[in-house]
Amino acid sequence: MDTPTMTVDVTPTVADYQYLQYWTFFSTLTGKAFVGIAGFNLVVALYAAVAFPEVLSLGIFFLPLVLVVMLVFMYIGPKRTFGAMAPMREARTYQLSEQGLHVQGSTFSSQTTWALLRNVVETKQAFFFFIAPQQAYIIPKRSLVNPTALAELRKLIAIYASAAQRRG
């Protein structure tokens, strides 16, 4: 009996890595809590600036400023890394099979078994195959050029990834 496999060719962009950065931050409870607290802090700061301008302390703007700085670095970081590391820019082929996820570029090759994947996540724009908390293989949905490829990829993930690994 043949086991189902699938091959996907991907040319990554810096936007793919930035999307992964933002998604991993905003999908965690810590990230959501930080954004909520910083947002609440900003509302209080703006109210205080209007209602009590004579006692305004710039320290109240600290958390919103930290959030802005974090967001800027989440944008700049992948951009710098993408520019500095050639393997991140090169086209690659993902092969999903019973053995796991095989990734082949012109200067690298990687094999990860399904058991070693931490999470497999489907978002609106991509599939993330997490090998560490903030490190993932990315298959952008734009790379699934065949009309049936999206359904085929979902089917393979359902077959091979455990229920605990699937998210999205």
DSSP string, 3-25: PP-EEEEE---HHHHHHHHHHHH
For residue 113, the surrounding DSSP H or E stretch is none
Spell 54-69 as b/e; 16+ CB within 10 A means b.
eeeeeeebebbeebee
Digitized pLDDT (tens) for each residue of the chain, 168 residues in all = 578 899 999 999 999 999 999 999 999 999 999 899 988 988 888 888 888 888 777 777 788 888 899 999 999 999 999 989 988 999 999 999 999 999 999 999 999 999 999 999 999 999 999 999 889 999 999 999 888 999 999 999 999 988 667 776
Query: Cβ–Cβ contacts within 10 Å for residue 105, how many?
Result: 17
The structure's pTM equals 0.86
4: Cβ–Cβ under 8 A, 6 or more apart, which residues? Answer: 97, 98, 152, 155, 156, 159
Domain range summary for the chain, segments of one domain joined by +: 6-12+87-167, 20-84
Residue 52 has what DSSP assignment? Answer: -
The 10 Å Cβ neighbour count of residue 151 is: 11
CATH architecture group of domain 6-12+87-167: Roll (2.30)
Closest of 33, 31, 60, 62 to residue 44, by C-alpha: 60
Give the per-residue pLDDT at 1. Answer: 55
7: nearest Cα among 91, 92, 96, 90: 96
Q: What's the token pair of residue 70?
A: 């974090």
3-class SS of residue 53: helix
